[in-house]
Amino acid sequence: MKKTLLTVMSIMLVLSIVFTGCGKQDGKKDSNDKNASNNKKIMRVNNTEEPGSLHPGKAQGTHDSWVLEHIFEGLTKKDANGNIVAGMAKEWKVSEDGLTYTFTLRDGVKWTNGDPVTAGDFEYAWKYALNPNTASDYAYILYPITGAEAYNTADPSKISAEKLKELENAVGVKAINDKTLEVKLTAPTAYFTEMLSFYTYYPVNKKVQEANPNWYTNAETYVSNGAFKMTEWKHKESITVVKNEDYYDKAKIKLDGINFAMINSDITTWQMYENGELDLGFPLPQDVVAQLKSKNDPQLTIGNDLSTYFYRFNTTVKPLNNAKVRKALSMAINRSIITEQVTQGGQRPAFSFTPPGIPDAEGKDFQATNGHLFEVNIEEAKKLLAEGLAEEGMNKLTLTIIYNTDEGHKRIAEAVQSMWKENLGVEVKLENMEFQVKIDREHALDYQVSRAGWIGDYIDPMTFLDMFLSDSSMNDTGWKNAQYDALIKDAQTTTDVVKRMNDLYAAEKILMEEMPIMPIYFYTQPYATKSNVTGIYKPVNRYPQLHYADIIE
């Protein structure tokens, strides 16, 4: 570790220990706690940011999904063990060739406005997300369905309305009747029932959507079908949801409600948790995680996470259009320093993009089998940078890293800034902003280097690798590679499971050779809970789930 970086990290650690040493440390509630002074069990948590959209077909980030997961439900859902179980569908059948799924909805399931939830609501919602006029960034997750990609990628300005309707009708989802939904796939997809628990597959009340296209922007008009229902949305401040008395599984719901605050400072979050204003502390300052770990504090849970922390490069701007420059920047980062001295939450340095925890065709771990796909090598990085800059007619490099406002992201960016300066002589500026602003700038390719993170939508390498297809709405790097596209497309359609995994292995090697992104570490998800909070569970690719939580008085 370089002396300058050591000094910076030491000062940060001392200051943070002093700061977090104040306040309550035993995790117990006191007489001033709001939940202790009334009979309502309202779980108080931090959503960090104002949601970009709470419409299932428009949502695209964790600041959207954590709320959506508690107020909506798909055909399937995840239980406390991470297993896929029946949600709105009470049962389903799969054809022998694995291409046709027939779902039967539960009896008596309702929307929060009293309307019945029907198979038609699922058909409508999925086609809404696929409609090229809707501009759903997550539409591609529906592509396993026959006709979905053709409909979504059609250009309404170049075809007739009749032709567009034909494409819509060809999508392989059909409500046979109010309780029966038939879905046809282009190829057998072993993880399809898991995908159904993801928010883009949630239903939307057709009648409500058509009567008021903006129904999802305010609590007064919001209609959902999950364990909780929204009662208040103070924009950029908080969202309150309460137990849905019409939910089929209401007997298991012990909370009266959940309040999602919007606090983009993890230090403030910890202060509020310590002061009894939050029941779940998340996200936590990195040094607080280290302190709690060192004491084996029972408040701390370090949840497993199927996710990767990485930086995107805008490959459409010089000199980041040059793969040598991108590789040099990636090879000059000591990830162990970041995980051991900065994040301090048990994260693992990442030398590939797909994280551990995903089995391949033989049941082996995909990440472990593909191995480290690049290495830290300062001398090679200097050589590549010099060559890349010369090829672009440049002799020095100044970059700006953008990140969403958060003390943890700031500290990581400062560490990267220091390493790039000391190891490569690259000058780096840092720019923070709201999460949604960052997402919008990434989509517009209005950046040079951008902080990012990706949680697997389902447990398969495809959920990490298909986002870098040339035409993916989630690519946000400007990078295109025909060979990569062909491998991913083959993997999406082949019925040979061994060939499929070999295609994905090869695709990830191309991704890491071209380096449009710079993996930094594989996440864990540390959070703290008060001693009187029970029943929270953490699926590997979800935030902590509060459906069956309880607050013991």
Summarize pLDDT for 210-244 with one digit per residue, the tens: 999 999 999 999 999 999 999 999 999 999 999 99
pLDDT score of 15: 36
Average pLDDT over every residue of 73-83: 93
Relative to beta strand 180-184, strand 228-234 is unpaired
d(CA 60, CA 54): 9
Residue 2: pLDDT band by 50, 70, 90 thresholds? very low
Query: For residue 35, is pLDDT > 90?
Result: no
Q: Cβ neighbours of residue 69 under 8 Å, at least 6 residues apart?
A: 199, 226, 542, 543, 545
Tokens encoding 338: 């970041």
Residue 105: pLDDT band by 50, 70, 90 thresholds? very high
Q: Is 389 helix (H, G, I), strand (E, B) or coil?
A: helix
Strand partners, 525: 303
On average, the pLDDT of the chain sits at: 92
pTM for the model stands at 0.84
pLDDT score of 456: 93
pLDDT score of 493: 86
Residue 512 is inside which H or E element, if any?
Answer: helix 497-514
d(CA 194, CA 171): 20
d(CA 247, CA 245): 6
Strands (DSSP E) contained in 157-247 are 173-177, 180-184, 228-234, 238-243
Residue 190: pLDDT band by 50, 70, 90 thresholds? confident
Q: How far lies 528's CA from each of 25, 66, 111, 257, 259, in Å? A: 11, 17, 33, 19, 16
d(CA 493, CA 462): 12
Average pLDDT over every residue of 94-111: 97
d(CA 146, CA 124): 16
Query: For residue 28, is pLDDT > 60?
Result: no
CB 408 within 8 A of CB 359: no
Residue 16: pLDDT band by 50, 70, 90 thresholds? very low
Question: Structural domains in the chain?
Answer: 72-206 (3.90.76.10), 309-524 (3.10.105.10)
Query: For residue 482, is pLDDT > 50?
Result: yes
d(CA 19, CA 457): 36
pLDDT score of 106: 98
Query: For residue 160, is pLDDT > 50?
Result: yes
CB 373 within 8 A of CB 508: yes
Torsional class of 82: left (φ above 0), alpha (ψ -120 to 50), beta (otherwise):
left
CB 549 within 8 A of CB 534: yes
Average pLDDT over every residue of 258-265: 96
Residue 81: pLDDT band by 50, 70, 90 thresholds? confident
* pLDDT tens string 370-408: 999 999 999 999 999 999 999 999 999 999 999 999 999
Relative to beta strand 398-404, strand 449-455 is parallel
